[in-house]
Amino acid sequence: MKRFWYVIFLFAVILSLPACSAGEQGSEGPMGPAGLVGERGPQGEPGLQGPEGPTGSSACIGGGYEPPGANCEFGGVVIAVGISIYPNEFCGANEVRERYYVCNPEPARKVKTLRGDLLIENSVQFQQYQQLEQVTGSLKVNANSASILVFPNLREVGDLQIYGGSESSPLATVMFPALVEAKRVTIMGSVKHFNAPLLRHATSIQVSAPTLHALELMSLQRIDDYFAVFGTSSLGVLDISYLESVGKSFQVEGEVGLFGCDQTADFCNQVTVPDGGVCRTFECTGDACVECAY
């Protein structure tokens, strides 16, 4: 019984004690050190392929002789670049976006007429004889390190022989803007563009240039012996629109690019070849060649 009243007493004492109020919150403690970096998760699956974009435009290039004047004091070459509208590498007038000029240096010595043969193998010789107007013998140019070759005033030459560079460093442009008369014209090696717009008569023309893209002889009327182009892989421009007669043979072999058999058929219909001569053109793809018969 005494124990019961003792418990009641303690319970009453506890109830009589005042309640303790909560203390103020302490300041935040410092941040603990960062934990170790976890292992990299597996790579996610690749996303879906996006739609194919539109076909981009191809670049084109062109050029021509630049006469002495405001752009080039001693003449030179104008290089035109732009965006191709037509399927070829050469810019038409409506495709040109920019023009750049490669000007001739001041001639070291003006030699206008050379009697005999001339061999040009370096830039010093080229600058010395660039103003030639006539060569009574042969003119042979080994253009192994040149990219542009222009004889602005040469009107007449005996045999003309042009040897281009390697396929990795071709002779890009050869121009004879004043040439009217030549005997044998030979173009060998890596030459991309040959232009002689006033040449009217030649004894023969032979071209073996794998990288040739354009052969422009737009005033050529007569060839005494033969006209032969072979070994080309991408001849896109062949301008002989005024050629009237060939003494022995007219022959174009190789991949003839844009004009194909149809256009060369026009050449054969246009050109007069004497009895016993031959007019043949070939359209080749790889090792297969089809002769265009007329």
What are the pLDDT digits (tens) for 177-219?
999 999 999 998 888 888 999 999 999 999 888 888 888 888 9
Task: Pick the more confident residue, 207 or 230.
Answer: 207
Using the 3D structure, point to which of 43, 75, 102 is the last residue of a domain. Answer: 102
Task: Pick the more confident residue, 197 or 94.
Answer: 197
**pLDDT band at residue 15 using 50, 70 and 90 as cut-offs:** low
Radius of gyration of the chain (CA): 41
Task: Pick the more confident residue, 90 or 99.
Answer: 99
Same domain, 136 and 268: yes
| DSSP string across 125-185 | HHHHHTT--EESS-EEEE-SS-SEEE-SS--EESSEEEE-B-TTS-B-EEE-TT--EESEE
- Say if 278 falls within a structural domain: yes
**pLDDT band at residue 49 using 50, 70 and 90 as cut-offs:** confident
Report the mean per-residue pLDDT for the chain: 76
Spatial distance between the Cα atoms of 203 and 184, rounded to a whole number of angstroms: 5
Residue 156 reports pLDDT greater than 90: yes
pLDDT of residue 262: 47
Dump pLDDT digits (tens) for 117-150. 888 887 777 777 888 899 999 999 887 656 788 8
Same domain, 278 and 200: yes
Residues whose CB is less than 8 angstroms from the CB of residue 71 and which lie 6 or more positions away in sequence, other chains included: 78, 101, 103
Using the 3D structure, point to which of 67, 82, 102 is the last residue of a domain. Answer: 102
Using the 3D structure, point to which of 70, 102, 134 is the last residue of a domain. Answer: 102
Residue 18 reports pLDDT greater than 70: no
Task: Pick the more confident residue, 151 or 274.
Answer: 151
- Say if 28 falls within a structural domain: no
Same domain, 74 and 123: no
Same domain, 71 and 181: no
- Say if 216 falls within a structural domain: yes
pLDDT of residue 206: 92
- Say if 27 falls within a structural domain: no
Q: Range with the lowest mean pLDDT among 26-30, 42-46, 100-104, 211-215?
A: 26-30
pLDDT of residue 286: 45
pLDDT of residue 160: 93
Same domain, 97 and 111: no
Spatial distance between the Cα atoms of 220 and 181, rounded to a whole number of angstroms: 10
- Say if 159 falls within a structural domain: yes
Dump pLDDT digits (tens) for 50-91. 888 777 677 777 777 888 888 888 788 888 888 877 666 677
Same domain, 172 and 260: yes
Residue 108 reports pLDDT greater than 60: no
Same domain, 98 and 225: no
What global pTM score does this model have?
Answer: 0.58
Residue 31 reports pLDDT greater than 70: yes
Same domain, 183 and 226: yes
- Say if 11 falls within a structural domain: no
Same domain, 71 and 128: no
Same domain, 124 and 251: yes
- Say if 26 falls within a structural domain: no
Domain enclosing residue 63, as ranges: 59-102
Residue 238 reports pLDDT greater than 70: yes
Mean local confidence (pLDDT), 263-267: 52
Same domain, 147 and 282: yes
Q: Lay out the sheet containing 278-285: strands in order across.
A: 118-120, 139-142, 160-163, 184-188, 204-208, 226-232, 249-254, 278-285, 288-292
Same domain, 142 and 190: yes
Provide the number of structural domains found in the chain: 2
**pLDDT band at residue 293 using 50, 70 and 90 as cut-offs:** very low
- Say if 126 falls within a structural domain: yes
Q: 92: which 2 tokens? A: 């038409």
